[in-house]
Structure 1
Amino acid sequence: MIQVAPLLVLAFLAITFLQSGYDKIKDWKGNVEWLTGHFANTILAKQVPFALGIVLLLEVVSGILCVSGIIQHLVQDVVIRGLGFYGAILSCITLLFLLFGQRLAKDYDGARTIVIYFIPAVLVVFWLN
Structure 2
Amino acid sequence: MNNIGSILLLILLAITFVQSGYEKTMYWNDNVAWLKKHFEKTPIRNMVPSSLFLVLVLEIVSGILCISGCIQLLVNNVRTFGLYGAIFSCITLLFLLLGQRMAKDYDGARTIVIYFIPAVMAVYWLS
What is the TM-score normalised by the length of structure 1? 0.97
Letter in 2 for 1:120: P
Judge conservation of contact 1:13–1:121 (CA < 8 Å) in 2: yes
| Aligned-residue offset at 1:3 | 1.0
Runs of at least 4 residues off by over 2 Å: none
| Aligned-residue offset at 1:31 | 0.1
Gaps of 5+ in 1: none
The residue aligned with 1:18 is: 18
Match of 1:90 among 82, 88, 91: 88
Letter in 2 for 1:92: C
Looking at structure 1, the residues matched to 2 and 66 of structure 2 have their Cα atoms a distance apart, in angstroms, of 16
| Aligned-residue offset at 1:85 | 0.2
Gaps of 5+ in 2: none
TM alignment of 1:64-83, pairs within 5 A: 64-79=64-79, 82-83=80-81
TM alignment of 1:1-129, pairs within 5 A: 2-79=2-79, 82-129=80-127
Aligned length, in residue pairs: 127
| Aligned-residue offset at 1:37 | 0.1
Looking at structure 2, the residues matched to 2 and 73 of structure 1 have their Cα atoms a distance apart, in angstroms, of 9
| Aligned-residue offset at 1:2 | 3.0
